[in-house]
């Protein structure tokens, strides 16, 4: 049956959901303001899960840059050593319009001494902070966390500080939803149409661009699932059958005793996770599974073979973020926010709680 002409497309339904995501601090007034008025208002420092050991055939280069995207930095680092850009390792993409501190790895034979390498790097348009040898290349995902310092401009301290502190108190106490940020979905969320076009072709996903569009679809479905869970009143609860994650080790398990798990959840020992849909995803059980399956049905994506066709194995994503180190300080141009997020989390999900910008 052909849907009525006025029926929104699936991409449009996703877009509508993305612009109405619930707030963790609903009921508290926002403060407005703007981010990234200038790059210096958005500082991010990448934290690796390990430090360079001082030996090995890779050079760990920690640098600070402004106005450069990650792939262009990698290509520029490769040139003085006669390497291909793909030989330079990095853990994650970072904002271009920001002041970013990040570590890259460059393959460097032991016969090349550090003084020679430093001389080659000195001519590049980056601030070199440290250089040391290590045994392995930095690969995508080799990031423990990102530390942010962000200035919210266009607000006055007299009017904005008190409500901002109230929002910060609520976030430190209750955490916030780990939504994918708006930048995941592109300008005007155009990536959603491209993702659905890939689904409708019903062909295996090939190449990096197609793989990215599959991840956009998975991200949108996760946001929908989490938004619906919060709206039905289960955002701060553990459900029977949830796939929970241990906060200390990252291990996953299916909740078979909701009462016992609820105590651990209240003590922040565990957090429930949401679906990154895929044919190898660890499934929820009981009532939690029904909710995850309903999202796919609601968006006409319940074909059991779909994610296999898209070559999407799937995974789990923690549903809540805890901001124990969130600080708010007065700044000459507004307010300064400092906080740390685990890899894969978006600073914009924190900032929207303050600005209330869709």
CB 44 within 8 A of CB 101: yes
> What does the block give as tokens for 261?
């798990």
Residue 6: predicted pLDDT: 54
**Cβ–Cβ under 8 Å, residues 106 and 59:** yes
What share of the chain has pLDDT > 90, as a percent? 81
**Rounded distance, CA 358 to CA 184, Å?**
14
Average pLDDT over residues 168-175: 96
167 is written with which tokens? 């929002």
Split at pLDDT 50, 70, 90, the class of 7 is low
User: Which residue of the set 6, 72, 95, 300 is catalytic?
Assistant: 95
**To the nearest whole number, what is the mean pLDDT of the chain?**
93
pTM for this prediction = 0.91
Say whether pLDDT at 27 is over 60: yes
Burial class (CB within 10 angstroms; exposed 0-12, middle 13-18, buried 19+) of 225: buried
Per-residue model confidence (pLDDT) at position 304? 81
Write down all domains in the chain, each with its CATH number in brackets.
28-44+146-175+328-358 (no CATH), 50-142 (3.30.2350.20), 177-320 (3.30.2340.10)
User: What is d(CA 55, CA 132) in angstroms, rounded to the nearest whole number?
Assistant: 8
Query: Which segment of 21-35, 38-52, 202-216 scores lowest on mean pLDDT?
Result: 202-216
95 has catalytic annotation:
yes
Distance of CA 45 to the CA centre of its chain: 14
| pLDDT of 138 over the 50 cut | yes
**pLDDT digit string, tens, across residues 139-156:** 988 999 999 999 999 999
């Amino acid at each position: 049956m052909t849907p009525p002409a006025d029926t929104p497309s699936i991409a449009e339904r996703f877009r509508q959901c993305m612009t109405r995501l619930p707030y963790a601090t609903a009921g508290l007034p926002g403060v407005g303001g703007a981010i990234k008025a200038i790059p210096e208002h958005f500082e991010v420092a990448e934290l690796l899960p390990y430090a360079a050991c001082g030996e090995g055939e890779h050079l760990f280069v920690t640098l600070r840059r402004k106005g450069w995207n990650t792939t262009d930095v990698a290509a520029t680092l490769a040139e003085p050593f006669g390497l291909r850009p793909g030989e330079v390792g990095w853990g994650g993409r970072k904002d271009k319009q920001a002041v970013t501190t990040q570590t890259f790895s460059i393959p460097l034979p032991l016969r090349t001494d550090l003084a020679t390498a430093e001389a080659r790097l000195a001519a590049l348009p980056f601030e070199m902070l440290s250089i040391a040898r290590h045994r392995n290349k930095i690969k995508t995902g080799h990031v423990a966390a990102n530390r942010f310092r962000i200035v919210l401009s266009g607000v006055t301290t007299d009017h904005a500080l008190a409500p901002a502190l109230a929002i910060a108190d609520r976030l430190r106490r209750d955490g916030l939803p780990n939504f994918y940020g708006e930048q995941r979905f592109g300008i005007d969320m155009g990536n959603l149409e491209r993702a659905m076009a890939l689904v409708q072709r019903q062909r295996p996903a090939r190449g990096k661009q197609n793989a990215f569009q599959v991840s956009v679809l998975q991200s949108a479905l996760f946001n929908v699932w989490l938004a619906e869970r919060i709206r039905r009143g289960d955002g701060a609860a553990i459900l029977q059958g949830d796939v929970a994650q241990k906060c200390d080790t990252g291990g996953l398990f299916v909740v078979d005793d909701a009462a016992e798990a609820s105590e651990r959840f209240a003590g922040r020992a565990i957090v429930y996770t949401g679906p990154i849909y895929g044919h190898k995803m660890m499934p929820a059980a009981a009532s939690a599974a029904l909710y995850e399956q309903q999202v796919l049905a609601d968006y006409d994506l319940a074909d059991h073979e779909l994610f296999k066709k898209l070559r999407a194995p799937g995974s789990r994503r923690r549903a809540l973020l805890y901001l124990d180190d969130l600080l708010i300080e007065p700044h000459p141009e507004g307010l300064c926010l400092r906080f740390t997020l685990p890899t894969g989390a978006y600073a914009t999900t924190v900032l929207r709680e303050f600005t209330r910008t869709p």
